[in-house]
């Protein structure tokens, strides 16, 4: 008889990774040098400022819905529109570029991080605390700065705008601007020096090109603004008289401010042009049309942007009208080249209107209208008629909001899986788009007519007999619809945080740039292995080698080294696994 005993059994404890405590997460945020987390901090902070600026805009529109004082006094109204413009331009739109650039640029060029990780974090803290200082004037006795976001002197000096709120505005923006300059240095060095093998300048994604050119523009424009702010601070606190009207100080400030201010418009626009250029080929199932032309147009815009500042000063009589009018008309040419390239990318493509594509088409529609009204303002006779009216307000919002906000949401919906590992809901995304699209055009389209009819901007009140009431009420209704459109997006973010994570590198299936060749979200240093880079579409070459082979065959300029690997992605991964086991 054979005794049979049960084999000894062993139990294996399965451990699941513990979620970091709140304290650990705070320490990680405070000490991180990971470009992806810093990018998320920029995006979150700038979006928070977007919400604050939007709330200020709702109060402004509520005040203007009827003649007479409705909500706030004239003094508070001046503070509101000053801080609304400051927040939206310098605390939301500009840092938003650094948010997307931090998340995407190292991934798109195959770098493990930015060139100066600690400087990157320092730039963010300068921006954060500079913004807080700028807005903290609301908590002072005299209130926040109330001299307009352009801070024209002598209105902004210590005599006509006394109080610490104006001083906080000046020095807060100076500190935030210093962070912007440091960030621009970082990205310039990163893009020039840290590209992966095979990532030549003319294989870089257009977003990287636009980020490089934008960084160079920042290094040209922001030091001028920083110097002007220091001189204004000296005037306000030390009696320096740099901008005293007796010796032309008012015109000097306008020259300094707008030499910064108009390149700033393209500092805002170019990165978001790049976002749209990344999205259109993916959802058109086509390569970008006219890659070299897009790069050349970006460089031309940058060069011309520093030669058009004085078209903001036509009514001063102190500038050469013909020269600055001609340069302003001329800058529309490279912008038009970009527009035709975007249309050429979609032309004949197999277009799918996923949410990122829908936002991109909304961008094209809105930006086209804003560009056309900009051509009107480039003509001195027409500019004389509508200068400082609501026509300028409408044009500016069509250009800036139409560029930054539409492209921002396009980028959020497109790169959300890459940033978080989760997809945003398509239905909620489309509801969000249509509410914002209708709200935006309802708000700002009628403001063109208000301006033509003679309503000045920055006025807290108007008479009932002026005939402005109906159009102002339509604009106010649109503003509240525009504000309401943010709720589906916030709900979408909440819902997606509880949805399953994606399990593929490229959930859209047709991604072209290098970030789609790594996991969602990427590891700490971005790539486990890098694919060979043979074109400006390395991820597409990796995932669709058979289509890449057809593109290679059609390109007479391609050499043997540019030929795609027909073994495909899985063959490459198998070889990499063997190499790691060895």
- For the cut 60, the answer to whether the pLDDT of residue 569 exceeds it is no
Q: How many CB atoms lie within 10 A of CB 12?
A: 5
Chain segment 149-184, per-residue pLDDT in tens? 999 999 999 999 999 999 999 999 999 999 999 999
Residue 70 to residues 75, 477, 523: CA-CA distances in angstroms? 13, 16, 53
The span from the CA of 134 to the CA of 137, in Å, is: 7
Q: Which 3 state secondary structure label does DSSP give 347?
A: coil
For residue 35, what is the DSSP state?
H
Band of pLDDT at residue 386, cut at 50, 70 and 90: very high
Q: Torsions phi, psi of 333, nearest 5? A: -70, -55
CA distances from 328 to 62, 332, 363, 382 (A): 35, 7, 22, 14
Pairwise pLDDT comparison (250 vs 573), residue with the higher score: 250
> What is residue 575's predicted lDDT score, i.e. its pLDDT?
42
257 — phi, psi (to 5°)? -65, -45
The proportion of the chain whose per-residue pLDDT surpasses 90, expressed as a percent, equals 82
pLDDT of residue 247: 85
Q: What is the pLDDT of residues 46-73, one digit of tens each?
A: 999 999 999 999 999 999 999 988 899 9
Instruction: Please name the residues in contact with 212: beta carbons below 8 A apart, sequence gap of 6 or more.
Output: 187, 188, 191, 192, 204
DSSP notation for 373-402: HHHHHTSHHHHHHHTTBHHHHHHHHHHHHH
Residues 6 or more apart whose Cβ sits within 8 Å of residue 575? none
Q: Residue 534 has what pLDDT?
A: 87
Yes or no: say if 513 and 543 are a contact pair by the CB < 8 Å rule: no
Tens of pLDDT, residues 2-50: 444 444 444 444 445 577 788 888 888 888 999 999 999 999 999 999 9
Closest to 502 in 3D by CA, of 422, 425, 559: 422
DSSP-H helix ranges across 388-468: 390-420, 426-452
Q: For residues 133 and 154, what is the distance between their CA atoms, to the nearest angstrom?
A: 23
Distances (CA, A) of 39 to 191, 243, 322: 16, 38, 43
Distant-in-sequence contacts of 150-154, Cβ < 8 A, 24+ apart: 150/85, 150/257, 150/261, 151/232, 151/253, 151/257, 152/250, 152/253, 152/254, 152/257, 153/232, 153/235, 153/243, 153/245, 153/249, 153/250, 153/253, 154/243, 154/244, 154/245, 154/249, 154/250
Structure tokens at 531: 């694919």
pLDDT (0 to 100) of residue 374: 92
Residue 456's SS3 state is: strand
Q: What is the mean pLDDT of residues 482-504?
A: 94
Q: What is the torsion angle, in degrees rounded to the nearest 10, for the CA atoms of residue 495, residue 499, residue 501 and residue 506?
A: -60
pLDDT band per the 50, 70, 90 thresholds, residue 254: very high
Report the chain's terminal Cα–Cα distance, integer Å. 50
pLDDT above 60: residue 576: no
574 pLDDT more than 60: no
What pLDDT score does 469 carry?
A: 95
The model's pLDDT over 204-215, given as tens digits with 9 standing for 90+, comes to: 999 999 999 999
What's the predicted TM-score (pTM) here? Answer: 0.91
Per-residue model confidence (pLDDT) at position 532:
87
Residue 254's alpha-carbon distances to 48, 188, 493, in angstroms, are 30, 29, 42
In the DSSP assignment, the letter for residue 1 is -
Higher pLDDT, 53 or 577: 53
On the question of a cis peptide bond just before residue 411, with omega within 30 degrees of 0, the verdict is no
Burial group, residue 89, by CB count within 10 angstroms (0-12, 13-18, 19+):
buried
Kindly tell me the sign of the dihedral angle through the C-alpha atoms of 548, 523, 355, 99.
negative
**CA-to-CA distance for 518 and 530, rounded, in angstroms?**
8
- Burial annotation 363-389 (CB, 10 A radius, 16+ → b, else e): bbebbebbbebbeebbbbeebeebbeb
3-state secondary structure 488-538: HHHHHHHHHCCCCCCCCCCCCCCCCCHHHHCCCCCCCCCCCCCCCCCCCCH
Residue 453, φ and ψ in degrees, nearest 5: -80, -10
By the 10 Å C-beta count (0-12 exposed, 13-18 middle, 19+ buried), 79 is classed as: buried
Q: How far apart are CA 359 and CA 436, in angstroms?
A: 10
Mean pLDDT of 546-559: 63
Q: Give me the pLDDT at residue 573, please.
A: 42
pLDDT of amino acid 388: 93
Question: pLDDT per residue over 269-302, tens digit each?
Answer: 999 999 999 999 999 999 999 999 999 999 999 9
Alpha carbon of residue 462 to chain centroid: 34
Does the pLDDT value for residue 321 go beyond 80?
A: yes
**Cα(9)–Cα(47) distance, rounded to whole angstroms?**
56
pLDDT, tens digit (0-9, with 9 covering 90-100), for 76-135: 999 999 999 999 999 999 999 999 999 999 999 999 999 999 999 999 999 999 999 999
Average pLDDT, the chain: 90
CATH code of the domain made up of 35-581: 1.20.210.10
pLDDT of residue 547: 74
Return all residues near 15 (Cβ < 8 A) that are at least 6 apart: none
| Three-state DSSP class for residue 270 | helix
Dihedral of CA 48/49/54/55: which sign? positive
Residue 405, pLDDT above cutoff 90 = yes
Residue 223 in tokens:
């030091």
193: CB partners within 8 A, 6+ apart: 115
Average pLDDT, stretch 433-454? 96
pLDDT confidence tier of residue 253, bands split at 50, 70 and 90 = very high
Taking the CB of residue 336, how many other CB atoms lie within 10 A of it? 13
468 three-state secondary structure: coil
């Amino acid at each position: 008889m054979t005794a049979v005993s049960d084999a000894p059994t062993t139990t294996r404890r399965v451990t699941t990774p513990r979620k970091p405590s709140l304290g650990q997460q705070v320490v990680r945020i405070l000490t991180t040098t990971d470009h992806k987390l810093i990018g998320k901090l920029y995006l979150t902070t700038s979006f928070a400022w977007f919400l604050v600026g939007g709330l200020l805009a709702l109060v402004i529109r509520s005040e203007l819905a009827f003649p007479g004082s409705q909500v706030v006094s004239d003094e508070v109204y001046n503070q509101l529109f000053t801080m609304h413009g400051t927040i939206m331009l310098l605390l939301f739109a500009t840092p938003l570029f650094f948010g997307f650039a931090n998340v995407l640029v190292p991934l798109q060029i195959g770098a493990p991080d930015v060139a100066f990780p600690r400087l990157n974090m320092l730039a963010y803290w300068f921006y954060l605390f500079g913004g807080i200082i700028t807005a903290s004037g609301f908590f002072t006795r005299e209130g926040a700065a109330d001299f307009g976001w352009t801070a024209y002197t002598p209105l902004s000096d210590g005599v006509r705008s006394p109080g610490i709120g104006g001083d906080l505005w000046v020095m807060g923006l100076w500190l935030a601007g210093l962070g912007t300059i440091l960030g621009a240095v970082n990205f310039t060095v990163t893009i020039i020096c840290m590209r992966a093998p095979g990532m030549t300048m003319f294989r870089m994604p257009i977003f990287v090109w636009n980020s490089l050119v934008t960084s160079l523009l920042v290094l040209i424009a922001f030091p001028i603004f920083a110097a002007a702010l220091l001189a204004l601070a000296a005037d306000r606190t030390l009696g320096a008289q740099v901008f005293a009207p007796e010796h032309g100080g008012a015109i000097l400030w306008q020259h300094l401010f707008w030499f910064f201010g108009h390149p700033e418009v393209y500092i805002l626009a170019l990165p978001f042009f790049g976002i749209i250029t990344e999205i259109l080929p993916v959802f058109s199932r086509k390569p970008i049309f006219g890659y070299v032309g897009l790069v050349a147009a970006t460089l031309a815009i940058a060069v011309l942007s520093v030669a058009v500042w004085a078209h903001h000063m036509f009514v001063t009589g102190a500038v050469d009208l013909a020269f600055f009018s001609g340069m302003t008309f001329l800058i529309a040419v490279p912008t038009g080249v970009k527009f035709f390239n975007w249309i050429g990318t979609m032309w004949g493509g197999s277009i799918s209107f996923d949410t990122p594509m829908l936002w991109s088409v909304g961008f094209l529609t809105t930006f086209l209208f804003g560009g056309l009204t900009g051509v009107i303002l480039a003509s001195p006779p027409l500019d004389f008629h509508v200068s400082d009216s609501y026509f300028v307000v409408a044009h500016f919002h069509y250009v800036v909001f139409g560029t930054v906000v539409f492209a921002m949401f396009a980028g959020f919906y497109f790169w959300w899986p890459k940033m978080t590992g989760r997809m945003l809901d398509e239905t909620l995304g489309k509801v969000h788009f249509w509410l914002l699209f209708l709200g935006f055009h309802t708000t700002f389209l009628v403001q063109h007519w208000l301006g033509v009819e003679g309503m000045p901007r920055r006025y807290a009140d108007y008479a009932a007999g002026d005939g402005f009431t109906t159009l102002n009420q339509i604009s106010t209704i649109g503003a509240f619809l525009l504000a309401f459109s943010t709720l589906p997006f916030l709900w979408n973010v909440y819902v997606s945080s509880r949805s399953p994570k994606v399990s593929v590198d490229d959930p859209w299936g047709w991604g072209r740039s290098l970030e789609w060749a790594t996991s969602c979200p990427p590891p700490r240093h971005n790539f486990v292995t890098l694919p060979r880079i043979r074109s400006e579409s390395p991820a597409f070459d990796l995932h669709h080698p058979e289509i890449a082979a057809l593109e290679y065959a059609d390109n007479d300029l391609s050499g043997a080294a540019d030929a795609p690997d027909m073994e495909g992605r899985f063959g490459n991964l198998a070889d990499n696994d063997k190499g790691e086991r060895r």
